[in-house]
Structure 1
Amino acid sequence: MYRILAKLNKLLLPSFTKRQLDLAKAKKWQLAIIAWRYFVTSRALEN
């Protein structure tokens, strides 16, 4: 399930590393997206 979510995240959500976003200057919604992507990716790698 998490692998499917990880693929959807890659397709639908923006990649902030490509934009070289500074985490200190990130807005709350950007931090929420980063946290969600981290959570899903880490769960997908566990299996």
Structure 2
Amino acid sequence: MKKTVFKLLAKLNKKILPSLTKEKVDLSKASKLQMAVFAYKLWVTKNSLD
């Protein structure tokens, strides 16, 4: 059940949230909001793969 929820969130993230790698954002120069989006997407992806 938990894994299914995270897979759904991952699909929504891909469609709604911006891709920081396609925008070529340098993480050392990223804003706090960009870092928060990156961390959230990373957390969801990690949990959907477990």
Q: Same fold (TM over 0.5)?
A: yes
Residue 32 of structure 2 aligns to which amino acid in structure 1? K
Q: Which residue of 2 aligns with 1:41?
A: 45
Q: Which runs of 4+ in 1 moved over 3 A?
A: none
Structure 1 residue runs of 5 or longer lacking an equivalent are: none
Partner of 1:11: 15
Q: RMSD over aligned Cα, in angstroms? A: 0.4
CA distance in 2, matches of 1:29, 1:19: 15
Q: Which has the higher helix share?
A: 1
Kindly name which structure, 1 or 2, has the bigger radius of gyration based on alpha carbons. Answer: 2
TM-score normalised by L of structure 2: 0.90
Identical pairs, percent: 48
Unaligned runs of 5+ in 2: none
Residues matched between the structures, number: 46
